[in-house]
Amino acid sequence: MSRAVTTPHPTPRRTRRPRKAATRTLPRPLRDRPDAGFSLVEAVVALALLAVVVTTTAAWVLNTSQATRLAHEDAQVADILQDDLEKVRAASYSTVGMSSPLPTGDPLLVSSSGTTMAVLGVERRQEPALSLAGTTVLPHVDSNSFNGTPYRLTRFVTLPAMCAATTAGSEPPCRRYSAVVTWTSGNRTRARWASQLLSKANRAVVEDWSWTAAGGTSVRTGTGGKVVVPYSLLNNGNRNSWSLTATVKNSSGSTAAATVQWYVDANSDGVWQSATETTRLDLASAGTGQSGNLESGRMLRCLAVVTVSAGSYTVTARSTSLMERSPSATPAPPQDVSAAVSVS
């Protein structure tokens, strides 16, 4: 009997997978990590930028604060000056002046050719100081404070050239009242001026004015067939306007053939600068000037430019009130002022 022979199944071999080559992972740079900090250079740059921003902002805040404080102080000083001017306007005209003798030790009071001059305003113009015997309306200097800031108020009363008395010994028709407040702010001394031209106004009288020729009776001379005569019109009454005319007569009293043009004396020096002083008062009617409305206490400085042949003449200028009045009211008479001229 034969035996069956069995052959065992062969065991399959395992196939090995090839090993991957070993790789080495390099660490990420610090700046690529989300939780990384700033480098020293970045920190220094950031601090520098922050310092610039903080410094600029602080300077802006400081400047704004200083500007606001100065504007507030300036407004308070303006109120002080306005209140002072109102006190003077309410006072009697004859009492507005500086004490006699004039104060000493004030750098704004200087002597010039034996006359004490007051140095006024930021332009430092000089005008003769007016002193009055007896009690003046306000003292020369006052010291006080606002919101803890000390200030000094100094007052001056002067006589501008336009306010010269028409006759010797008479009261000047006007005078200038000036005041300056000085105070210290931001380690700097600051000053603000105010000025008002005062006249002897009689507001109870409807029509009242002064019409004068600068230089009094002195002879005006001209060349080239032209001569200039300066005039001043000061309103002492209520608001009003005037017409201005002039006649020219020769030495025999006959009316001469002449033309007159009226100009505004812009710089109030009594001299006609033909290149710059071109504002005419007689555009509406040739030879007749119109003053326009003048408030009480206001003055018009004007120039009559006379064209006439060579010779000696008398120019008579007339100012006539144009105020509206009722038919039954008596108009104020016109005012005439004459000036001798010589033309070559």
Domain ranges across the chain: 93-199, 209-325+333-343
Rounded to two decimals, the pTM is: 0.49
Task: Please report, for residues 34, 44, 53, 60, 293, the alpha-carbon distance to residue 47 in angstroms, rounded to integers and kept in the order given.
Answer: 22, 5, 10, 20, 67
In terms of pLDDT, which residue wins out, 16 or 57?
Answer: 57
Q: How far apart are CA 296 and CA 301, in angstroms?
A: 15
Q: Provide the H-helix boundaries in the chain.
A: 40-90
Superfamily of structural domain 209-325+333-343? Immunoglobulins (2.60.40.10)
Name which of 237, 51, 75, 240 is nearest 147 in CA terms.
Answer: 75
DSSP reduced 3-state for 224: coil
pLDDT in tens, 164-221: 776 666 778 888 999 999 999 878 899 999 988 887 765 555 688 889 987 767 788 9
Residue 139: cis peptide before it, omega within 30 degrees of 0: no
Structure tokens at 231: 């005039």
Structure tokens at 136: 């003046």
- What does DSSP say about strands 141-146 and 131-132: parallel, antiparallel, or unpaired? unpaired
- Which pLDDT score, from 0 to 100, does residue 341 have? 92
- What does DSSP say about strands 141-146 and 311-321: parallel, antiparallel, or unpaired? unpaired
pLDDT band at 36; cut points 50, 70, 90 = low
* Residue 262 pLDDT greater than 90, yes or no: yes
- Which pLDDT score, from 0 to 100, does residue 4 have? 55
